[in-house]
Amino acid sequence: MVETLNTFAFDWMLTAVSLWIASHIFRGIKFSSSGALIVAALLLGFANALVRPVLILLTLPLTILTLGFFLLVINALMILLVSKLVTGFKVAGFWTALFASIFVSLLSMVLASILGDTFGTPPPPMLPSSGGTWL
Protein backbone atom coordinates (compact mmCIF):
# COMPACT_ATOMS: atom_id res chain seq x y z
CA MET A 1 0.00 0.00 0.00
CA VAL A 2 2.78 2.45 0.91
CA GLU A 3 4.71 1.57 -2.25
CA THR A 4 1.64 2.30 -4.39
CA LEU A 5 1.17 5.62 -2.63
CA ASN A 6 4.82 6.53 -3.19
CA THR A 7 4.54 5.65 -6.89
CA PHE A 8 1.37 7.76 -7.19
CA ALA A 9 3.02 10.73 -5.47
CA PHE A 10 6.12 10.35 -7.64
CA ASP A 11 4.05 10.29 -10.86
CA TRP A 12 2.00 13.26 -9.64
CA MET A 13 5.17 15.23 -8.94
CA LEU A 14 6.61 14.38 -12.37
CA THR A 15 3.40 15.47 -14.08
CA ALA A 16 3.31 18.72 -12.13
CA VAL A 17 6.94 19.54 -12.94
CA SER A 18 6.43 18.64 -16.60
CA LEU A 19 3.30 20.81 -16.83
CA TRP A 20 5.12 23.69 -15.13
CA ILE A 21 8.02 23.48 -17.59
CA ALA A 22 5.57 23.17 -20.50
CA SER A 23 3.82 26.35 -19.34
CA HIS A 24 7.13 28.19 -19.67
CA ILE A 25 7.88 26.77 -23.12
CA PHE A 26 4.44 26.99 -24.75
CA ARG A 27 2.84 30.44 -24.77
CA GLY A 28 -0.65 28.96 -24.93
CA ILE A 29 -0.46 27.24 -21.54
CA LYS A 30 -1.03 29.33 -18.42
CA PHE A 31 -1.46 28.60 -14.73
CA SER A 32 -2.92 31.29 -12.50
CA SER A 33 -1.42 29.79 -9.33
CA SER A 34 0.63 26.90 -8.04
CA GLY A 35 -2.58 25.43 -6.63
CA ALA A 36 -4.05 25.30 -10.13
CA LEU A 37 -0.90 23.54 -11.31
CA ILE A 38 -1.12 20.91 -8.56
CA VAL A 39 -4.84 20.31 -9.14
CA ALA A 40 -4.31 20.13 -12.92
CA ALA A 41 -1.55 17.55 -12.49
CA LEU A 42 -3.79 15.49 -10.17
CA LEU A 43 -6.76 15.66 -12.53
CA LEU A 44 -4.58 14.85 -15.53
CA GLY A 45 -3.42 11.72 -13.73
CA PHE A 46 -7.01 10.71 -12.97
CA ALA A 47 -8.14 11.50 -16.53
CA ASN A 48 -5.29 9.41 -17.94
CA ALA A 49 -6.18 6.55 -15.58
CA LEU A 50 -9.97 6.59 -15.99
CA VAL A 51 -11.13 8.45 -19.12
CA ARG A 52 -8.25 7.77 -21.51
CA PRO A 53 -8.65 3.94 -21.54
CA VAL A 54 -12.34 4.32 -22.40
CA LEU A 55 -11.53 6.71 -25.25
CA ILE A 56 -8.82 4.36 -26.51
CA LEU A 57 -11.28 1.48 -26.54
CA LEU A 58 -13.98 3.52 -28.30
CA THR A 59 -11.56 4.79 -30.96
CA LEU A 60 -9.62 1.55 -31.42
CA PRO A 61 -10.44 1.17 -35.16
CA LEU A 62 -9.28 4.74 -35.83
CA THR A 63 -6.16 4.19 -33.74
CA ILE A 64 -5.31 1.05 -35.69
CA LEU A 65 -6.03 2.78 -39.00
CA THR A 66 -3.66 5.65 -38.11
CA LEU A 67 -1.02 3.24 -36.78
CA GLY A 68 -1.36 4.64 -33.26
CA PHE A 69 -1.02 8.31 -34.10
CA PHE A 70 -4.60 8.96 -32.95
CA LEU A 71 -3.33 8.33 -29.40
CA LEU A 72 -1.65 11.74 -29.65
CA VAL A 73 -5.06 13.27 -30.26
CA ILE A 74 -6.45 11.47 -27.22
CA ASN A 75 -3.57 12.81 -25.10
CA ALA A 76 -4.31 16.34 -26.32
CA LEU A 77 -8.00 15.86 -25.50
CA MET A 78 -7.05 14.86 -21.94
CA ILE A 79 -5.15 18.12 -21.48
CA LEU A 80 -8.05 20.10 -22.95
CA LEU A 81 -10.50 18.29 -20.66
CA VAL A 82 -8.42 19.13 -17.61
CA SER A 83 -8.12 22.76 -18.73
CA LYS A 84 -11.92 22.97 -18.87
CA LEU A 85 -12.27 21.50 -15.36
CA VAL A 86 -9.55 23.50 -13.57
CA THR A 87 -10.37 27.22 -13.47
CA GLY A 88 -6.77 28.44 -13.16
CA PHE A 89 -5.44 26.31 -16.04
CA LYS A 90 -5.78 27.69 -19.56
CA VAL A 91 -4.80 26.08 -22.86
CA ALA A 92 -5.03 28.20 -26.01
CA GLY A 93 -6.24 25.47 -28.36
CA PHE A 94 -5.94 21.98 -29.73
CA TRP A 95 -2.52 22.37 -31.36
CA THR A 96 -1.02 23.77 -28.20
CA ALA A 97 -2.50 20.85 -26.26
CA LEU A 98 -1.18 18.37 -28.83
CA PHE A 99 2.41 19.60 -28.74
CA ALA A 100 2.29 20.12 -24.98
CA SER A 101 1.03 16.56 -24.45
CA ILE A 102 3.95 15.20 -26.47
CA PHE A 103 6.38 17.39 -24.52
CA VAL A 104 4.89 16.48 -21.11
CA SER A 105 4.95 12.76 -21.92
CA LEU A 106 8.56 12.80 -23.09
CA LEU A 107 9.78 15.01 -20.24
CA SER A 108 8.00 12.88 -17.63
CA MET A 109 9.60 9.77 -19.11
CA VAL A 110 13.07 11.34 -19.06
CA LEU A 111 12.64 12.62 -15.50
CA ALA A 112 11.36 9.24 -14.33
CA SER A 113 14.38 7.50 -15.80
CA ILE A 114 16.75 9.98 -14.17
CA LEU A 115 15.05 10.19 -10.77
CA GLY A 116 13.83 6.59 -10.54
CA ASP A 117 16.47 5.42 -8.05
CA THR A 118 16.27 8.61 -5.99
CA PHE A 119 12.65 8.09 -4.98
CA GLY A 120 12.68 4.33 -4.57
CA THR A 121 11.09 3.59 -7.92
CA PRO A 122 13.00 0.98 -9.85
CA PRO A 123 14.64 2.26 -13.03
CA PRO A 124 13.59 0.78 -16.37
CA PRO A 125 14.99 -2.69 -17.02
CA MET A 126 18.27 -2.85 -18.89
CA LEU A 127 19.39 -5.51 -21.30
CA PRO A 128 22.17 -7.79 -20.15
CA SER A 129 25.54 -6.62 -21.45
CA SER A 130 27.08 -10.00 -22.12
CA GLY A 131 26.61 -13.64 -21.41
CA GLY A 132 23.27 -14.84 -20.12
CA THR A 133 20.77 -17.04 -21.81
CA TRP A 134 17.76 -15.64 -23.57
CA LEU A 135 14.68 -17.80 -23.31
Question: Mind listing the pLDDT tens digit for each residue in 46-102?
Answer: 998 899 999 999 999 999 999 999 999 999 999 999 999 999 999 999 999 999 999
Q: Distance between CA 113 and CA 100 in Å, rounded? A: 20
Is the residue at 85 inside a domain? yes
In the chain, the number of structural domains is: 1
Is the residue at 3 inside a domain? no
Is the residue at 125 inside a domain? no
Is the residue at 48 inside a domain? yes
pTM above 0.85, yes or no: no
SS3 content of the chain, % helix, strand, coil (to 5): 70, 5, 25
Is the residue at 7 inside a domain? no
Is the residue at 15 inside a domain? no
What residues make up the domain containing 60?
A: 30-115
Is the residue at 25 inside a domain? no
Positive or negative, the Cα torsion across 80, 93, 23, 88? Answer: negative
| 34-50 pLDDT per residue, tens | 999 999 999 998 998 89
